[in-house]
Amino acid sequence: MKHPDQRTLKQVAWIGLSMMLLLGVISNISDSFEYGQTDDKPILAIVTMLMIATALSVWAVRTSLQVVDRQRQLFWLILSLAIGFRAVMLFTPPIMEVDYYRYLWDGKVVQTGVSPYRYAPQIVLDASGAQLAHASQDQDLETLVALTRSSSAHEILTRVHYPKLTTLYPPISQWVFCCMASVVPTESSVWVHVLIIRAAFVLFDLGTILLLAIMLKRLDRHLGWLIAYAWNPLVIKEIANSGHLDSLAVFLMLSAAFFLLKVRSDGSRSHALISGVALGLAVGAKLFPVVLVPAFLARLGRYGWRMAAGFGFAFFITCGFVLYPMSNSYPTWSDSAGKQSSQHSQTTALEQDGLTNFLSKWRMNDAIFSAIYYNLKPDRDSSDDSQNNWYVVTPSKFRDQVAKLQNHVFFGSNPAYTLTRLFTLSIFGIIYLRMLGDLRSGDEQIFLRAILFVLFSFLMLQPTVNPWYWVWAIPFTCFSSRWSWSAISGVLLLYYTRFYFQESSLEFTWWQQSYAGVEIFDHFVVWIELILIVIFVAFAGRLDKA
């Protein structure tokens, strides 16, 4: 007679193979996403299949939790299929993403010894063309011009997104970019460069899976929860296929959490120090983990101020060391003719700074932020094509008063954006304070669930809610005991319908305001996302019992 766990393991395997089939179909129809292809792209089909795969992964979590005695076999099943999923997507053309071209170019720049924070790609393009004579005034620029004589480097440079802006990626990520550039022969094809850097991020992704398995085992949690991350289609798509560097920051952040939890078991100050270093390195890979510093300090405070101080010292020293190259390099200004000079105004130079632009201007997939922003933004402001949106309820006189703050030294040229930032930051601060009790809890699982909610709140209040940012929080869903948290990944995949609406001629009128093309996504689909996410979070307990 077969052991009951054997039947459950077979069910999990069949679910996994069904997911593999879906990913295989996506791979088979993804040729139209090759760079430069103008064919119609099966965006809606791919989004639908990824959402179905998300439903299957949630089903796999719930089924795997029925395994009682054979969790070791379950782990190897989860790991082997997780590797298989990533292998399929790794060799699939990247779908609707081009960020990796910036990574590749940054890596080549760092390899030459030039700061990636100094020159926007457009400056190098201009200098390598008709304005080559200007390069002779700047040795570093000459070095980058010489770099573009390699066919692959020049091709990568021409494909960089937002070429007029300098890079916004911190030094630890730059170091990884450089290492990957060093292992690929200079004249290798662009496809080889792309494949290698994506493979590197997959390795960090697999490292996160193994670290999660260790943490689950240590906390005596069922290993079936590992599927919540290891088989998550959003993670697989964003790391293995799209090649986002977030897997590096997530691995370092989770390492910091791992060593933080070890403090409780042995009271070792060295683990607090290691946790501080790891979190500092995570910030050096991508800045977002800095929001966890108060949470970690609150946790360590229960073990004495010396423990918290040791962590804080290690974190801030590490951050200072790894982030110094960003603070020590300023963008070189370039005019439309390609002439460049570091003598021009700092204000003009900062307009080409990638991080400054990201923090002060960018908005994407941001229902909550938009709702506040457009209720502060005056109608007569022509800097945005969408005015009088259906969710604007504040009187125009109030918004005109906000506009009078323009160019004030504190509010800048877009006071509505600055005020919205302050308002959402205040909401986040209130949520953080509310979570302090859970963050200080002696129960490690309560602490990890609180971290999940902190990251979730931080993400939802941002002006840029790219779906791959949710990868930051997904590891902590393994400790939530709520499968509904995993379902959020499927909802965020709706983001990719934006590319469909971008090419669509669909147009309609709603509340005397016309919406066409991408506006349909920006002002309607994002609200569908938000409503579904609120349902999954607010009614998590009831849904999980269904």
**pLDDT class for 343, splitting at 50, 70, 90?**
very low
Least confident of 90-94, 265-269, 463-467: 265-269
Q: Are 427 and 461 in contact (CB under 8 A)?
A: yes
> What pLDDT is stored for residue 121 in this prediction?
93
Asked whether residue 384 carries a pLDDT value surpassing 90, the answer given is no
Confidence of residue 62 (pLDDT cuts 50, 70, 90): very high
Query: Which tops the pLDDT comparison, 442 or 419?
Result: 419
Residues 4-60: pLDDT tens digits?
Answer: 788 999 999 999 999 999 999 999 999 889 887 777 889 999 999 999 999 999 999
Question: Which residues have C-beta within 8 Å of that of residue 298, sequence separation ≥ 6?
Answer: 436, 439, 440
Average pLDDT over residues 399-421: 84
User: Rounded mean pLDDT of 117-133?
Assistant: 80
Whole-angstrom CA distances from 285 to 272, 342, 372 are 20, 27, 30
- Cβ proximity of 141 and 127 under 8 Å: yes
Three state DSSP letters for 176-233? HHHHHHHHCCCCCCHHHHHHHHHHHHHHHHHHHHHHHHHHHHHCCCCHHHHHHHHCCH
Exposed/middle/buried for residue 406 (C-beta within 10 Å: 0-12, 13-18, 19+): middle
Is the per-residue pLDDT at 77 higher than 70?
yes
Inter-axis angle of helices 99-112 and 171-183, nearest 10: 80
Mean pLDDT for 265-278 is: 87
Provide the pLDDT for residue 243: 95
Return the half-sphere exposure (C-beta side, CA atoms, 13 A cut-off) of residue 327: 7
Which DSSP symbol is given to 372?
H
Mean pLDDT of 435-449: 90
| Cα separation, 498 vs 502, whole angstroms | 6
Q: Would you give the end-to-end CA distance of the chain in angstroms?
A: 31
Q: What is the amino acid identity at position 541?
A: G
Q: Identify which of 52, 74, 45, 33 has the alpha carbon closest to the alpha carbon of residue 233.
A: 52
DSSP state of 406: T
Phi, psi of 76, deg, nearest 5: -65, -30
Give the mean pLDDT of the chain.
88
Written as six digits, the tokens of 475 are 């590891």
User: Residue ranges of the domains in the chain?
Assistant: 1-244, 362-546
CA–CA dist 512, 493 (Å, integer): 30
Give the C-alpha distances (Å, rounded to integers) separating 156 from 49, 97, 103, 190.
30, 14, 10, 7
pLDDT of 336 = 43
Q: Which two tokens stand for residue 48?
A: 């639908």
CB atoms within 10 A of CB 99: 17
> Per residue, what are the HEC states of 71-118?
HHHHHHHHHHHHHHHHHHHHCCCCCCCCHHHHHHHHHHHHHHCCCCCC
Which residue in this structure is represented by tokens 């570093």?
Answer: 140
Per-residue pLDDT tens digits for 170-191: 999 999 999 999 999 878 899 9
Residue 273 and residue 277: Cα distance in Å, rounded? 6
Helices (H), 286-388: 293-301, 305-327, 346-350, 354-360, 367-374
Mean pLDDT, residues 499-519: 84
Q: How many beta carbons lie within 10 A of that of residue 111, not counting itself?
A: 16
- As a whole number of angstroms, the distance between CA 246 and CA 260 comes to 21
According to the model, what pLDDT value does residue 127 have? 86
Residue 443 confidence class, pLDDT cut points 50, 70, 90: confident
For residues 58 and 503, the model is more confident at: 58
What proportion of the chain, given as a percentage, has pLDDT over 90?
A: 64
Is the predicted pLDDT of residue 341 greater than 70, yes or no?
A: no
pLDDT category of residue 347 using cuts at 50, 70 and 90: very low
| More confident call, 474 vs 302 | 474
Angle made by CA atoms 427, 430, 434, in degrees to the nearest 5: 140
Q: Token match 């949710």: residue?
A: 470
The C-alpha angle with vertex 167 and arms to 161 and 169, in degrees rounded to 5, equals 110
Question: Which tokens hold the place of 202?
Answer: 């997959």
Collapse the DSSP code of 345 into the 3-class scheme (helix H, G, I; strand E, B; otherwise coil) and give the result: coil
Mean pLDDT of the region 388-412? 83
